[in-house]
């Protein structure tokens, strides 16, 4: 019984670490977009989309990136 408990505890810890590690790319892409570093965000996003093409979060960030590109191209002049 004690062995099973230790095994489950180790397994839970391992899954927690895997989840945190996979969250890192999401956070870095989000921060690149928020800071306006669109080229770096696109490079990171493209690499991850090749590996995980059906990931909904990555596709959401791709849409946010396209919107950020559009905003940068069509910014209005504040004096008009």
Q: Is the pLDDT of residue 25 over 80?
A: no
List pLDDT tens digits, range 28-78: 999 999 999 999 999 999 999 999 999 999 999 999 999 999 988 888 655
CA 20 from centre of chain: 12
Q: Is the pLDDT of residue 13 over 70?
A: no
Query: The pTM is what?
Result: 0.63
**Which two tokens mark 48?**
């991850």
Dihedrals phi, psi of 60, to nearest 5 degrees? -65, -45
């Amino acid at each position: 019984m004690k062995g099973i408990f230790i095994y489950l505890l180790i397994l839970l810890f391992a899954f927690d670490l895997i989840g945190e590690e996979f969250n890192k790319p999401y956070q870095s892409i989000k921060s690149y977009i928020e800071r306006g570093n669109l080229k770096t965000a696109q490079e990171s996003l493209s690499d991850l989309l090749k590996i995980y093409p059906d990931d909904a979060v990555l596709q959401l960030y791709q849409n946010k990136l396209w919107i950020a590109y559009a905003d940068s191209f069509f910014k209005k002049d504040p004096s008009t």
